Amino acid sequence: MEIDVKDGVLTVIAPLRGTPAETAGVKAGDQIAAIDGKSTDGVPLDKAVSQIRGPIGTTVDITIVRGGKPIDIKIIRETIQVPETDDSLDAKSG
């Protein structure tokens, strides 16, 4: 999933298609309140990402807030294939 900090809160920008986060039900706009039971309040983005990532086949438990309600989600880590961008769309001057 793609995450960022919005208004001081760790927020899901988008769950990447076909990834464990999407399969587990994570949605764009979900706020990540806790990772493995530990609050994300004040946690830098890079540290949160490293806490979510881990060995393939292991689980990470996240608590998201959606519509003001906390939801606990268990995600089984897998290898993620990130789609490549199409560089042919970049215009080059010369």
Q: How, if at all, do strands 9-14 and 69-76 pair?
A: unpaired
Spatial separation of the C-alpha atoms in residues 12 and 37, rounded to whole Å: 18
Global pTM reads 0.81
Spatial separation of the C-alpha atoms in residues 36 and 48, rounded to whole Å: 11
Q: Give percent of the chain above pLDDT 90.
A: 73
Q: What is the pLDDT of residue 93?
A: 39
Please say whether the beta carbons of 64 and 3 come within 8 A: no
- As a whole number, the mean pLDDT across the chain is 87
Residue 44, both tokens: 């830098």
**Which H/E stretch holds residue 21?**
helix 20-24
Count CB atoms within 10 A of the CB of residue 27.
14
**For residue 75, is pLDDT > 50?**
yes
**For residue 94, is pLDDT > 50?**
no
Q: What is the pLDDT of residue 76?
A: 94
Q: What is the pLDDT of residues 16-56, one digit of tens each?
A: 888 899 999 999 999 999 999 999 999 999 999 999 999 99
Q: Which of 2-11, 31-40, 81-90 comes out lowest in average pLDDT?
A: 81-90
